[in-house]
Amino acid sequence: MMTYIVFILSVIFVVSFVGFSSKPSPIYGGLVLIVSGGVGCGIIMNFGGSFLGLMVFLIYLGGMLVVFGYTTAMATEQYPEVWVSNTTVMGVFLLGLLMEVMLVLYVLKSEEVGVVFKFSSVGHWAIYDTGDSGVFSEEIMGVAALYSYGAWVVIVTGWSLLVGVLVILEVTRGD
């Protein structure tokens, strides 16, 4: 099972995406996002990106999703929609599950999957392993490089975040 762990995790990833794309109430969407965030972290860690997985848990799940959960809890309705409460939601969820099952069978049956681009096995992606040149991990060196050579990226992303907050405040303020 450990040799196919990335495949299994990616299937769970897609299923949880189907889970929140079928639009239950945001609270349940947040629940499924936690699952998908954790599973995504597992996929990245299997390629050697331990730092990036930690970032997903800390920042995405522990920061952004917590704030999202609190705001949704303030704005939620009395009987939020679950996957089984509404026929439409359940139908879309089952349709997504069905498509994922068919895709998994296609992958397991044939050597190579060529939907938008050719994908033959997980080993095919091994060239995108987060590097480890033996002395230091390239991941964390990337963060260090962000603050030295990539100072322009820091300025642009910092400015985008500030303007994002300004825009949201402006849009929700009304008249």
Partner 1 sequence: MNPLIFTTILMTVLLGTMIVMMSSHWLMIWIGFEMNLLAIIPILMKKYNPRTMEASTKYFLTQATASMLLMMAIIINLMHSGQWTITKVFNPTASIIMTSALAMKLGLTPFHFWVPEVTQGISLTSGLILLTWQKLAPMSILYQISPSINLNILLTMAVLSILVGGWGGLNQTQLRKIMAYSSIAHMGWMTAVLVYSPTLTMLNMLIYIMMTLTMFMLFIQSSSTTTLSLSHTWNKTPLTTTLILITLLSMGGLPPLSGFMPKWMIIQELTKNSSIILPTLMAIMALLNLYFYMRLTYSTSLTMFPSTNNMKMKWQFETKQITLLPPLIVMSSLLLPLTPMLSILD
Note the residues at the interface with partner 1 (CB under 8 A).
Answer: 116-117, 152-153, 156-157, 159-160, 163-164, 166-167, 170-171, 174-175
Residue type, 43: I
Nearer to partner 1, 79 or 117 (CB): 117
Residue 79 or 152: which CB sits closer to partner 1? 152
Residue among 74 and 116 whose Cβ is closer to partner 1? 116
Least distance (Å) between residue 117 CB and partner 1 = 6
| Shortest Å distance, C-beta 85 to partner 1 | 26
Min CB(1)–partner 1 separation in Å: 28
Q: Which two tokens stand for residue 1?
A: 């099972």
Q: What are 109's two structure tokens?
A: 């049956």
Whole-angstrom Cα Rg for the chain:
20
Name the residue nearer to partner 1 (CB basis): 79 or 128.
128
Kindly state the smallest distance separating residue 128's Cβ from partner 1, in Å: 8
Return the number of the residue (134 or 174) whose C-beta is nearest partner 1: 174
Shortest distance, position 31 Cβ to partner 1, whole Å: 24
